Amino acid sequence: MLTLDKFEEASEVVKRVTQETKLVYSDYLSTQTENKVYLKPENMQFTGAYKVRGAYYKISTLSEEERSRGLITASAGNHAQGVAYAAKCNDVRAVIVMPTTTPLIKVNRTKSYGAEVVLFGDVYDEACARAYELAEEKGYTFIHPFDDLAIATGQGTVAMEIFKELPLVDYILVPIGGGGLATGVSTLAKLLNPKIKVIGVEPAGANCMQASLKEGKVVTLDHVNTIADGTAVKTPGSKIFPYLSENLDDVIAVEDEELVVAFLDMVENHKMIVENSGLLTVAALKHLPVKNMRIVSILSGGNMDVITMSSVVQQGLILRDRIFTVSVLLPDKPGELSRVSDVIAKQNGNVIKLEHNQFVSINRNAAVELRITLEAFGPEHKKQIIVALHQNGYKPKAVRTIM
Q: What is the pLDDT of residues 16-27, one digit of tens each?
A: 999 999 999 999
Q: In what order do the strands lie in the sheet with 94-98?
A: 116-119, 94-98, 71-74, 141-142
In a shared domain, residues 116 and 225:
no
Residue 118 belongs to domain with CATH number? 3.40.50.1100
- Which of 121, 142, 163 lies at the terminal end of a domain, its last residue? 142
Residue of 190, 277, 300, 382 marked catalytic: 300
Express each pLDDT in 47-66 by its tens digit: 999 999 999 999 999 999 99
Confidence of residue 96 (pLDDT cuts 50, 70, 90): very high
- Which of 94, 117, 142 lies at the terminal end of a domain, its last residue? 142
Instruction: Give the three-state DSSP class for 286.
Output: helix
φ and ψ at residue 113, rounded to 5 degrees: -90, 5
Residues in the chain: 403
Per the prediction, the chain carries an average pLDDT of 92
Contact status, residue 331 vs residue 370, Cβ threshold 8 Å: no
pLDDT at 172: 98
pLDDT higher than threshold 90 for residue 44: yes
In a shared domain, residues 165 and 308:
yes
In a shared domain, residues 71 and 107:
yes
Q: Residue 111 burial by CB count (10 A; 0-12/13-18/19+): exposed, middle or buried?
A: middle
Confidence of residue 363 (pLDDT cuts 50, 70, 90): low
In a shared domain, residues 195 and 264:
yes
Whether 197 is a known active-site residue: answer no
Which has the higher per-residue pLDDT, 14 or 128? 14
- Which of 316, 341, 359 lies at the terminal end of a domain, its last residue? 316
Contact status, residue 18 vs residue 45, Cβ threshold 8 Å: yes
Residue 127, number of CB atoms within 10 A of its CB: 25
pLDDT higher than threshold 90 for residue 106: no
pLDDT at 362: 62
Express each pLDDT in 257-270 by its tens digit: 999 999 999 999 99
Whether 297 is a known active-site residue: answer no
Contact status, residue 30 vs residue 14, Cβ threshold 8 Å: no
Integer CA distances (angstroms), 68 to 92, 191, 265, 368, 386, in order: 7, 35, 46, 73, 68
Domain that holds residue 82: 52-142
Confidence of residue 303 (pLDDT cuts 50, 70, 90): confident
Instruction: Give the three-state DSSP class for 398.
Output: strand
Q: Residue 237 burial by CB count (10 A; 0-12/13-18/19+): exposed, middle or buried?
A: buried
Count of the separate structural domains present in the chain = 3
In a shared domain, residues 39 and 90:
no
In a shared domain, residues 248 and 365:
no
Residue 339 belongs to domain with CATH number? 3.30.70.260
In a shared domain, residues 276 and 300:
yes
pLDDT higher than threshold 80 for residue 359: no
pLDDT at 394: 87
φ and ψ at residue 95, rounded to 5 degrees: -120, 125
* CA atoms of 172 and 170, how far apart (whole Å): 7
pLDDT at 197: 98
Residue of 51, 106, 190, 382 marked catalytic: 51
In a shared domain, residues 198 and 272:
yes
Q: In the chain, what percentage of residues exceed pLDDT 90?
A: 76
Integer CA distances (angstroms), 181 to 176, 184, 374, 403, in order: 7, 5, 42, 37
Express each pLDDT in 121-175 by its tens digit: 887 778 889 999 999 999 999 999 999 999 999 999 999 999 999 999 999 999 9
Express each pLDDT in 179-194 by its tens digit: 999 999 999 999 999 9
